[in-house]
Amino acid sequence: MKKNIARLRRAKTTRSHIRDLGVARLSVLRSGQHIYAQVFTADGSKVLASASTVQSDVKDGLASCKNKDAAAKVGRAIAEKARAAGVERVAFDRSGYRYHGRIKALAEAAREGGLQF
């Protein structure tokens, strides 16, 4: 089984479980150069908040956009924007990625920013 197919299979099972919970979803996309995070409504129809290393306010002061420091800054930014949109509780959708490295750094920074997983 190819690596991406396995990741998408894991993501599918996670999203079906999150759908049953009925809470907002914090979804993460990791690329080779950047990391993106979005908070969706419980039904997934609307994006409530988003942050990424592409945005200039997040990118400022970073040596690189593809390390743990950048992911942590995205986590803090998404927590701030989600709380401003009135979201306190989210379910963490790691999109099938393993919970380590940049994904873990983003999640821990979002928790420190006030989001409850």
Q: Kindly list the domain boundaries of the chain, sorted by start residue.
A: 3-112
Residue 65 is predicted with a pLDDT of 93
* Ordered mean pLDDT values, 10 residues apiece, the chain (117 residues): 91 93 95 96 94 95 94 97 96 96 98 95
Q: Which CATH class is domain 3-112?
A: alpha beta
Quick check: 10 and 96 in contact, CB under 8 A?
yes
Residue 24 is predicted with a pLDDT of 96
Residue 116 is predicted with a pLDDT of 96
Provide long-range contacts, Cβ within 8 A and 24+ apart, for 45-52: 48/24, 48/82, 48/85, 48/87, 49/78, 49/81, 49/82, 49/84, 49/85, 49/87, 50/78, 50/81, 51/77, 51/78, 51/81
pTM: 0.92
Among residues 2, 27, 22, which one has the least CA distance to residue 97?
Answer: 27
Residue 76 is predicted with a pLDDT of 97
